[in-house]
Amino acid sequence: MTLAYSFKSAFQSLCREKWINILSMLTVASSLLIITLTAFFLYNVELVASHLPDRFSLVAYLNDNISQEEIQGIVDTLKRRDDIAALKYISKDDAIKELKQTLKDTRYILEGLNENPLSSSIEIRLKRDFVTSASAKRISEEIKKVSGIDDVYYGEKVAEAIYLLKKSLQNMSIIIFITISTGVVFVAYSTVKILFYRRKEEIEIIKLLGATKGFIRMPFLIEGGTIGFFGGILGIIGALLFYLAITYRLSMVIPMLKTLVFPLEILILLPITGIALGIVGSVIAIGRLKL
Amino acid sequence: MIAFQNVSKYYEHQGVLKNITFSVQKGEMAFLTGPSGAGKSTLLKLMYLAEWPDEGDIVIEDFHLQSLKPPEIPLLRRSIGVVFQDFKLINNLTVFDNVAMALRIKGVGEKEIKNLVSVALKKVHLRHLSDSYPRSLSGGEQQRVVIARAIVTEPLVLLADEPTGNLDPNTSIDIIKLFEEINLQGTTILIATHNRELFRNTGRRVLKLDGGNLVGEEVG
Ligand SMILES: Nc1ncnc2c1ncn2[C@@H]1O[C@H](COP(=O)(O)OP(=O)(O)OP(=O)(O)O)[C@@H](O)[C@H]1O
Ligand SMILES: [Mg+2]
């Protein structure tokens, strides 16, 4: 009963001050959109990074037309070394399969290839003790001398860079997330504060009529939550427009954008985050009530 | 039941109520009179805790105000109906919603609210103004809305602060008759007024307040 009344009262108040509220909703929406885009960006960097060799591995590419026995010989030679933790042989067929898997939607890049252009390779995982720059370099040079090995790809530098990029992007995202969330809380706070002051007199009256703190607070919590909720909904619309723009428009110009992955599921979090931040703002705005 | 025991109230070290002791029995209807500034409104405010007493104890029905816990304050206020001297109507709510507010606060369902509010508005002859806003009403009409709001919850105690201050003599008599009716149903009533006409020949107790002191008692 009381809750139904609180909702009614909250929506009346939202309609009475509609411009303030619409403005707040738009502010919340753009803030949530920034958070979403940051998450999207981070997600894609992670995805790319997960396909790259990690810091502890080398890849030895084998000569073409190498025989099965020769391969076995190489593997045995490498296994005798005490600085290698694990080996994994990848045939050229496996390699092309994996590439096709990775490219999925953009498989046409490989169209027109009659012959498999990839080499067979051995993925080498170093023991942790040997992963300093210097020793990885020395080991890769030694391995290169083994007959049957064409080249050694030594991904330390790239991997290191990607790792650092990933780390700093993560840190930046956390900072962005905290700053923007605080911003959203502040928007809800100031809006609800205004609505609260406009109804100060009414609140003093209903206190004398016997209203509980909960009864007084509820409409304002609903107002803050509603601003957050509609901010979230508008944020979803914004994110979808962004998604359509990159998948249909921009990707025609820049095909690489096609490989970006946009997890639409996370959009459902926007209204929920909006409601939560809105309510937090309202709680701070109302502060301690004195009956 | 209302009981004051050595109650004092100060505003900036100025005694506004001094060592007040009296009681009004359950189901009694009594008057409180005295010149302007005597402390009548202040005395009523102490009962619904718009102001807190500085000394002494007040008992309203089962509530001992001295040892009242904060969550009990709304319960105390809900069992008291108050006709405020300055009305305290909410300007952006209709007459209906103003009266209904007292019930919504108690968690009464909307269907029941409809019935109770229209009965209360009928008692003060205001049913036709149910959808009006307080600002568009005359002083007397506003005062009757306040009365309707005070009685709609059927409170245990009814406090009326100058309830006929804006009413013509005939309407005033109607309102006193209404209070008599409510009193017959068992509600304890205390009416603060400087209009001696209201209690003349009623045979009710009249408490006399002057300069913050209870200076005597008479029968109207
Ligand atoms: N909030 C306050 N701060 C300071 N003084 C106050 C306050 N409220 C009331 N007073 C003083 O207390 C005294 C009693 O006021 P009160 O309103 O109780 O009088 P009253 O008997 O109701 O008068 P009236 O018949 O005019 O309504 C007055 O002198 C008034 O100035
Ligand atoms: Mg007064």
Task: Say whether residue B135 is in contact with chain A using an 8 A CB cutoff.
Answer: no
Task: Say whether residue B77 is in contact with chain A using an 8 A CB cutoff.
Answer: yes
Domains and CATH numbers, chain A: 2-52+167-287 (no CATH), 57-154 (3.30.70.3040)
Q: Do B105 and A211 touch (CB under 8 A)?
A: yes
Q: Which two tokens stand for residue A190?
A: 């100031």
Q: Chain A residues within 8 A (CB-CB) of chain B?
A: 1-2, 4-5, 16, 201-202, 205-212, 215, 291
Residue ranges covered by each domain of chain B: 1-79+156-220, 89-154
Q: Do A205 and B90 touch (CB under 8 A)?
A: yes
CATH number of this structure's domain B1-79+156-220: 3.40.50.300
The residue with greater pLDDT, B45 or A72, is B45
Of B92, B105, B108, the CB nearest to A206: B105
In angstroms, the CA A89 to CA B28 distance is 101
Q: What is the ipTM of this complex?
A: 0.95
Over residues A22-64, the pLDDT tens digits come to 999 999 999 999 999 888 888 887 777 666 555 567 788 888 8
Over residues B101-157, the pLDDT tens digits come to 999 999 999 999 999 999 999 999 999 999 999 999 999 999 999 999 999 999 999
Of A202, A215, A291, the CB nearest to B105: A215
Over residues A170-202, the pLDDT tens digits come to 899 899 999 999 999 999 999 999 999 999 999
Q: Which two tokens stand for residue A258?
A: 């096609």
Smallest CA separation from ligand 1 atom 2, residue: B11
- CB–CB contacts below 8 A, A to B: 51
Cα dist. A173→A38, A105, A134, A165, A280 in Å?
A: 6, 28, 33, 12, 21
Q: Do A208 and B107 touch (CB under 8 A)?
A: no
Cα dist. A3→A197, A279, A282, B18, B174 in Å?
A: 22, 16, 17, 44, 37
Q: pLDDT (tens digit, 0 to 9) for every residue of chain A, 291 residues total? A: 578 889 998 998 889 889 999 999 999 999 999 999 888 888 887 777 666 555 567 788 888 888 888 888 888 888 888 888 888 888 888 888 877 777 776 667 777 777 777 888 888 887 766 666 567 778 888 888 888 888 887 766 666 776 787 788 889 989 999 999 999 999 999 999 999 999 999 999 999 999 999 999 999 999 999 999 999 999 999 999 988 888 777 777 777 777 777 788 888 999 999 999 999 999 999 999 888
Mean pLDDT of chain B: 95
Judging contacts by C-beta atoms under 8 Å, the chain B residues touching residue A208 are: 48, 50, 77, 82, 84, 88
Cα–Cα nearest to B145, from B163, B168, B162, B170: B163
Smallest CA separation from ligand 1 atom 8, residue: B42
Residue spans of alpha helices (H) in B106-191: 110-123, 139-151, 169-184
Is the distance from CB of A163 to CB of A36 less than 8 angstroms?
A: no
Q: What is the pTM of this model?
A: 0.78
For residue A99, what is the DSSP state?
H
DSSP for A189-248? HHHHHHHHHHTHHHHHHHHHTT--HHHHHHHHHHHHHHHHHHHHHHHHHHHHHHHHIIII
Q: Of the residues B7, B17, B41, which should be mutated to test ligand 1's pocket, given the most ligand atoms within 8 Å of the CB? A: B41
Query: For B110, which residue in chain A has the nearest alpha carbon?
Result: A1
